[in-house]
Every structure is written in C-alpha cells, then in structure tokens.
Amino acid sequence: MDQFLDKPTKPIDIILADANPIVLTAMSEILENDRRFSLVATSATAEGFFATALRIPVQIGIIDWNLPSLGGAKLIEILRDNDKAPRLVVYAEDTADLPRLAMNAGAAAFAPRSSSPETLLDICMEVANGKMVFPFLDVRELQTDPIHQLSQKERVILKALSKGLTNRELASDLDISINTVKFHLSNLFDKLAVKNRAQAIAFFYSSSLALNQKDPDGIPR
C-alpha cells in the first residue's frame, strides 16, 4: 500500500464570532474536535472579529448576522474588499430574506442554525475550496443585475479582463498574488453565472452601456 496516500492536509484556519455565548462555546468545541479545522480565535462582537481578522490571516470566518454592534452586514461590507480578510460564512436563523441579504452583502455562504453542525462544517469546506454556498437559493437567479453583487476588487478585475490581461498581469497590476487573482476570478464567475474568462468578457461588453451610465470608468461603485 502506498504510504503517501494518507498524507495529512493542513487544517483550515477559522475565526468564529457569535453573540450567543452558548452557541460560541458549542461551536468552538465542535471545531476544535474536527481535524480539518484549526480554530484560531473567537469573539462575541463584530469589532473583535474585525480586529482579529486584520491581525491574523485566516481562510474562513463564521459570523452571526446579529453581531453587536456593527452587525453582520456592515462587517462583511468593510471586509469584503480587503485581500487579507477571510471568506465569510453567515451562521444565522433562516428568516425572511436573510440568505439573500448575506450574499448581497458579500458573504461567501449562508448556513442556517436549524441545520446540523456537520452541515456547517461541510459548507466551510466548500467555501475553503473557493465555492459560494447558499443552500436555499439559486445563485444564478438572485439578481437582475449581477454587477451589483461584485466587490470593488472584482469590478476592477472584470474591467481588466476585458482588456485581455493575463492572471500574471492582473497580479502585478493589483499587487496581489496569482492565487488571490484566481480566488477573485472564481467568485466573479460564480456571481455572473459564467464559466470562463471569455463569457465574463462577453458579459462585460453586453453591460458596458449600462455600466458607463453609472460610473465614468464603466464600473459601478
């Protein structure tokens, strides 16, 4: 038997933030007992999560939508254009339009509290692999204008794609790594419901008139 088949992979670093101390304690224990993950820090507030996320690079952040005092939506908004910020999974009650609001804010996934802890962990694994996960929503039918779902960085990359820039050129121009470029492209493709660069470029040009009306450089703010 090949002894290298079971080579361990590096655990996924996670920060957990929840206003409910019972949930925070329970989820901390679950994460600490799962070898796929490494729980780096916990917080009961949005400010605490924000400070930690900027100080300690991690891959995934699990957040309560009702974190004091900023709230989940504002926290996602201020982190989404930071290349060093974790991808965010909203763990909250599945009420009203919350999954849609979480995605619109810029979250990578939504996990309802009514689901099992295993479901949350599986969603975290998918997010770590570059996917967007919204179990109750068809991401491709969420909005009539997908451009509004793009972060500022993704909008810049979309415009750059239309000029024919390669991943290496994008990385150089934006002063980010090629892996970070690939990460942004994956999110960009998901949000525009396209499969490749050519389709993304076609989308850009098909929307260019509307974009130009919204912003001088063709990218809505």
Domains in the chain (CATH in brackets) are 12-139 (3.40.50.2300), 146-214 (1.10.10.10)
Cα 21 to Cα 5, 44, 186, distances in angstroms: 40, 7, 35
Global pTM value: 0.63
Read off the amino acid at residue 14. I
Q: How far apart are CA 111 and CA 117, in angstroms?
A: 9
- pLDDT of the chain along its 221 residues, tens only? 444 444 457 899 999 999 999 989 999 999 999 999 999 999 999 999 999 998 988 999 999 998 988 888 889 888 877 778 899 999 988 776 788 888 878 888 999 888 888 899 999 999 998 888 887 655 555 445 666 667 777 888 888 888 888 888 888 888 888 888 888 888 888 888 888 888 888 777 776 434 454 444 444 33
Count Cβ atoms within 10 A of the Cβ of residue 49 and give its class: 0-12 exposed, 13-18 middle, 19 or more buried: buried
Give Rg (Cα) of the chain: 18
Residue 43: strand pairing partners? 17
